[in-house]
Amino acid sequence: MRKFAIVAVAAAALSALAVSQPAAADDKKDPEIKVPYVPTHEKVVTAMLKMAAVKEGDTVYDLGCGDGRIVITAVKEFKAKRGLGIDFNPDRLKDCEARMKEEKLTAAQIKQLTFKQGDVLKMTADDFKGVDVVTLYLLPDVNKRLKPILLEGLKPGARVVSHDFDMGEDWKEDKKEEIKTDRSYPHTVYLWTIKDKKK
Ligand SMILES: C[S@@+](CC[C@H](N)C(=O)[O-])C[C@H]1O[C@@H](n2cnc3c(N)ncnc32)[C@H](O)[C@@H]1O
């Protein structure tokens, strides 16, 4: 598989032609920008959650959740209290159900997880109240659009981690790490921590 970045550039160019349609975050219409599905390698999932210092009691959201692996791992291995995955594609939500079964989650862990269909670009700052960690494997354009929403909605100390794509030059990451896996290309994980808004 070629690096997601290459697919991403093509997708970004295509998305520029897409027609914007106003809709709620949880509606069933196609989103304005559809990021292609490339699951994050398990080793990178662990690196992302470690870098975000996910701990017992945290609430973790994955925007564009694919098969749900990031929030499932957050609940199962990192003891997060709650995981929410959002994806516009109903097939991905079926993948989430399948993965929860494969991972042999307990009934309690299943209760801690929510997967819902929706367009992440329709989310508002209010959607991020009480969220400790947001994970992203989207596209530069999408990250750029999400940035003001995340900055407004997330509380000080909340963390954002992104696989392979940064948030633009005006939001410099606090940490950046390269991860090697058995895939033919390296992965980069970025971390940002929300600062105290009064300062
Ligand atoms: C690169 S994959 C990442 C999947 C998962 N987060 C992971 O890291 O394994 C991007 C995912 O975002 C979903 N997606 C793309 N655009 C979206 C949008 N505007 N709103 C919601 N989900 C979207 C795709 O269906 C796909 O599953």
Does 23 score more than 50 pLDDT?
no
What is the best residue among 9, 34, 122 to mutate for testing ligand 1's pocket, by most ligand atoms within 8 Å of CB?
A: 34
45, 81, 99, 186 from 55: Cα distances, Å: 15, 9, 22, 26
Answer yes or no: is 90 within a domain.
Answer: yes
Contact residues for 158 (Cβ-Cβ < 8 A; gap 6+)? 128, 131, 132, 133, 134, 193, 194
198, part of any domain: no
| Overall size of the chain counted in residues | 199
**What digits encode the pLDDT tens for the residues 118-142?**
999 999 999 999 999 999 999 999 9
Rounded to the nearest angstrom, the distance between the alpha carbon of 45 and the centre of ligand 1 is 14
In a mutational test of the pocket of ligand 1, which residue from 43, 119, 137 has the highest number of ligand atoms less than 8 Å from its CB? 137
Edge-first strand order for the sheet with 133-136 is: 113-117, 82-87, 59-63, 133-136, 159-163, 187-193, 175-179
Ligand 1 atom at minimal distance to the Cα of residue 34: 16
Cα-to-centroid distance, 119 and ligand 1 (Å)? 9
DSSP state of 35: -
**Number of domains present in the structure of the chain:** 1
User: Among the atoms of ligand 1, which is closest to the Cα of residue 65?
Assistant: 6
How far are the Cα atoms of 3, 21, 39 from residue 47, in angstroms, in the given order? 18, 36, 14
Across the chain, mean pLDDT equals: 88
| pLDDT value, residue 82 | 98
CA-CA distance, 177 to 135, in Å (whole number)?
15
Does 199 map to a domain? no
- CATH number for 88: 3.40.50.150
CB burial of 123-132 (b: ≥16 within 10 Å; e: otherwise) equals beeebbeebb
For residue 26, is pLDDT > 50? yes
Q: What is the pLDDT of residue 3?
A: 56
Give 116 Cα–ligand 1 centroid separation in angstroms.
12
List helix spans (H) across 29-179. 42-51, 69-76, 90-102, 107-111, 140-153
In this prediction, residue 159 carries a pLDDT of: 98
Q: What residue's CA is closest to ligand 1, atom 18?
A: 119
What is the domain range of residue 156?
Answer: 4-193
Do the domain assignments include residue 145? yes
What pTM was estimated for this model as a whole?
0.89
DSSP state of 184: S
Ligand 1 atom at shortest distance from the alpha carbon of 32: 19
Residue whose Cα lies nearest atom 6 of ligand 1: it is 65
Query: What residues are paired with 193 via a beta bridge?
Result: 159
Residue % of the chain over a pLDDT of 70 = 84
pLDDT beyond 80 at 34: no
How much is the average pLDDT of 25-40? 79
Q: What is the pLDDT of residues 171-181, one digit of tens each?
A: 999 999 999 99
